[in-house]
Structure 1
Amino acid sequence: MPIDITQLLQAGHRLRHRQPPAEAVPPEMLGRVNSVYKMLGWGLIPLGALAGGLVAHTFGLRAPYPVAGVLRGVALLIATPVLIRAMRDQ
């Protein structure tokens, strides 16, 4: 059940995340902007897999899950002030 909720939230985030660049970028540049999003998104997957594999090899197979949870929490704490400021500016 938690995985389903997480996937639903991620899908909503993807839809919300793509709309502002589409409004801010000229139509002729939109394809290039989207390709950069995809390049970064798909290009970082192997690095995450490598990091998860190293954590699992060093600390055991269950270790990557709490490590990933902590990293996501830290990323949220770092991003929250920026997101709040962006929402206020709209």
Structure 2
Amino acid sequence: MDSFLSKAALSIGGLAAFGAAVFFGLYKEWLSLEIFSQISPDQTFTLMVIFLVLVFLSLIGFLVVHALQSSKVNIAKAKNNSVSIINNK
């Protein structure tokens, strides 16, 4: 059912709908926790926004770390004003 929901959302609404479907799939059980019945709707919304910002910043951090690890720089010194070319492939 989840794969059908994600395929339908992606084909009908594009990336935004797919993101909403993934969000609902991940957090539907999280939103039914007992603590949310004890706090106000405004506090629930604030908590959800904070959690989404933290998830987004984590994703950006992981992408930056991955980009830094995958782009290794090779340095070569050339003599007599010549050009050095490094080809590792």
Q: TM-score, normalised by structure 1?
A: 0.42
Bigger Cα Rg: 2
- Greater per-residue helix proportion: 1
